[in-house]
Structure 1
């Protein structure tokens, strides 16, 4: 009995004998990254672990003093593993319950909020008649949105706004701004004023899209590729939504239905995220304003390669999304009297072109989900992205010449749907790469800067495609997009072969 008692006394004294103070233990446990996010327990063990993971706050940062102590590392193995390349066996590393409910709400909100992006493009035929402009000028209705997005994103990146302000607040403000500027296009304004309004719509949307990706990433660690794929799938469906409204009857003199309805949907979206999408249990470190954030990212080879690949991908994607309606409308006009749309009149032809365009843009959501799944569960981000780029590049190379040769719609529509599903599918993987390869206190800026550069590239492509069409024909414009996927494949291969690839998709690269 005496020996047993002595052992118990030794065990009780062991923390002090190893230089570990009980008060230090409690202080260290209270400064774990999630303690500020979920509240600090009055006593260790006052809350079960699943409650600590549930979350009800916003962003959190671990205490610098606690992080520097050996006690912190000893007591909180999970935190060290979650920032490295290994996997933790701690249950707190698992994605939390309720994450798919949040993802569903957030993705639905993104569908509604980003419908304003292509609201003018969807009725470009009517707006060309309204202002007496041609194809090149009508391209400004989309490219001005992208320019506004770039300017807004650059300002956010320079000011580190995405890492300093709650993403829900940024999202709500962006939706309100986009709804207001978009609705004013339906007012009696001239073409130059409409371009300014579209620019301001794009600047507002720069507060919506990047914060969405950062916000949903706080809910997913193991399934981040699928989660980001779902959000960007929402972007695809939202971008397609105006075309559906046109196809359902928003044509002719009723084009203002498209403008007003997309503005109302944007307002609803802002309220949904602000009220129903909290920050998850994997918040990124809270940043302080620093002019060195962008130079830090520029020195990160993995982030640079992923960003350049994103830019190459955007060359093709927004060429497709912006000009497919014109491309398909031209095809129907040439094929007048043959197949679908033949002899149905101008109004029905426009509706048919809008519905097909809705399918081509909207089906990208399925591609995002599929590529996200195989990236997370099977082959990793690099291999999944290369697969999608190869498919979309092949479709781009084939579609235009087949269309120009008068191929039947029974062949062109399935090919166009495959192209649409693949063209956006890898987009989420580039965003996931940015969250995994950048320092955790620069994730928001990394995403925003990636998008700013990518959308800068889209402006050039959108302007260039009508010039290619004038020199050749609409049928050959799609071949002009092929260098984007080819360059993207080369950059992702370089990333896959680099040491930093091990940081992605739980070591799958």
Structure 2
């Protein structure tokens, strides 16, 4: 019934759908506070524009976590399924602590930072688990997996779209439950894969040695260009809709359309993975990166579109292409790294990529204070441009 890639004969259960579901459940805690930030901060009497700080805190935690996981080779030395399980439970516990009535801005930032560390044991480790099961068709496999990350990221916006019928506390409760469920599902139903090659010991340079491979290095820089744009776009989607509403007098439902604009990336990731099997991994990645760059450059004009449907169409296209190249970069990185350090190599590239998201996010927020707001996201196009330049050198 299921044919998602190359697996040993008579697999005990449909492994990939289980990994995808667990990834979706656990990554729902990533942006949970973003979707309900206004209500949550108001309940703690925290004033000011702190959304970018909350987002940066979890990203910074993820960076530190990925570097620790990579340096210690945790995903390659220990059972990836168990590592995923413990990380998911720790993340769920930290997410639940957002409900503590004594929280301040400092405690919220600390909680989000620690949550980011636990996510380093979920997202890249989930890709490692998938790579341990599927040697062929990895682009298609990771397309489904990254699609789950995208849907998990968008899901809190869907929950908050219920408005007054669902409090911010309910969103936190729901995502906490989902993360717990995802961790339990992996450890009980998805054992370590048949193609896993565990590392024998800690090698502090192992993950970075992958950069000695010229193709790996060029693809990594393409991925970095993609990351420069991705999370800043996701973080500012609600703001972009609000800005269009205020400037054009529109009445777009912010949480619902934030969910749809971010969530469409789950479909585009799966589609890009399938198309790459026929067209080629990097060719599809370049196309996605190029279109998303054009969206960045066109963003100031998008706020001037005369009708809401046109604006939403532009945003949906941007939401689709901004992430569709992500699983393709991961596929190419996995194929160009030594088998015994795939987990660590993917983790360190993830960590470096997410470091760029903090610079991009904070830089875009700062630009809004010195230039007209509608031009602040124009600079996101620099990342895809440099990424395309790096990819163009492959195969010369």
Taking structure 1 as the reference length, what is the TM-score of the superposition? 0.73
What is the deviation of 1:128? 4.2
Per-residue CA deviations over 1:63-120 (Å, capped at 9, x if unaligned) read xxxxxxxxxxxxxxxxxxxxxxxxxxxxxx9444559921111111111100000011
Match of 1:120 in 2: 33
Distance 2:197 2:142 in 1: 16
Q: Is 1:370 the equivalent of 2:271?
A: yes
CA apart distance, 1:174? 0.9
> How far has the Cα of 1:279 moved from its partner?
2.8
Between the aligned partners of 1:295 and 1:410, the Cα distance in structure 2 is: 46
Distance 1:292 1:108 in 2: 33
Residues 275-314 of structure 1: pairs in structure 2 closer than 5 A: 275-314=188-227
Query: How far does the alpha carbon of each residue in 1:179-237 deviate from its partner, in whole angstroms, 9 at most, with x for none?
Result: 11111112121111110000011001111011100111122222100100110000000
Larger Rg: 1
Instruction: Tell me the secondary structure at the aligned position of residue 291 of structure 1.
Output: coil
Task: Flag the 1:419–1:212 CA change in 2: closer, same or farther, 3 A.
Answer: same
Equivalent residues in 2 for 1:188-227, closer than 5 Å: 188=101, 189-227=103-141
Cα shift at 1:482? 0.6
Query: Residue 133 of structure 2 aligns to a residue in which SS?
Result: coil
1:270 to 166, 171, 183: 183
In structure 1, how many angstroms separate the alpha carbons of the residues matched to 2:283 and 2:204?
34
Instruction: Tell me if the contact between 1:116 and 1:262 (Cα under 8 Å) persists in the aligned partners.
Output: yes
For residues 78-477 of structure 1, what are the structure 2 equivalents within 5 Å?
94-96=6-8, 98=11, 101-129=14-42, 130-135=44-49, 137-188=50-101, 189-249=103-163, 254-336=167-249, 338=250, 340-341=251-252, 352-375=253-276, 377-403=277-303, 405-477=304-376
Structure 1 gaps of 5+ residues are 1-92, 342-351, 498-509
Moved more, 242-251 or 109-118: 242-251
Task: Supply the distance in 1 between the matched residues of 2:354 and 2:41 (Cα, whole angstroms).
Answer: 24
Q: Counterparts of 1:44-63 in structure 2 under 5 Å? A: none
Q: Describe the SS at the equivalent of 2:47.
A: coil
Q: CA deviation at 1:388?
A: 0.7
Task: Please tell me whether the aligned partners of residues 287 and 442 of structure 1 are also in contact (alpha carbons under 8 angstroms).
Answer: no
Give the conservation status (yes or no) of the 8 Å contact 1:287–1:441. no
Residues 179 and 264, structure 1, Cα contact 8 Å, conserved in 2: yes
Report how many residues are paired.
Answer: 389
Larger RCO: 1 or 2 (CA < 8 Å, sep 6+) = 2
Q: CA RMSD in A?
A: 1.9
Structure 2: give runs of 5+ residues left out of the alignment: none
**Closer/same/farther in 2, CA of residues 257 and 147 from structure 1, 3 Å limit:** same
Distance in 1 (alpha carbons) for counterparts of 2:45 and 2:364: 21
Q: Is the 8 A contact 1:123 1:255 kept in 2?
A: yes
User: Which secondary structure does the structure 1 equivalent of 2:32 belong to?
Assistant: coil
Paired with 2:177 and 2:254, the residues of 1 have a C-alpha distance of 25
8 A contact 1:219–1:281 mirrored in 2: yes
Render the CA deviation track for 1:285-340: whole Å, top value 9, x for unaligned.
5442222314422322222222221111111000111111112122213333x4x4
Distance 2:300 2:99 in 1: 33
Q: CA offset at residue 250 of structure 1?
A: 6.1
In the alignment, is the contact (CA less than 8 A) between 1:233 and 1:366 conserved in 2? yes
For residues 466 and 133 of structure 1, do their structure 2 counterparts lie closer, same or farther at Cα, with a shift above 3 Å needed?
Answer: farther
Q: Which moved more, 1:101-110 or 1:194-203?
A: 101-110
Shift in Å at residue 406 of structure 1?
A: 4.7
Say if 1:486 and 1:251 are closer, same or farther in 2 by CA, change over 3 A: farther
Q: What CA distance in whole angstroms lies between the structure 2 residues aligned with 1:183 and 1:462?
A: 26
Residue in 2 that maps onto 1:492? 391
Structure 2: distance between partners of 1:242 and 1:473: 29
> How far did 1:463 drift?
0.8
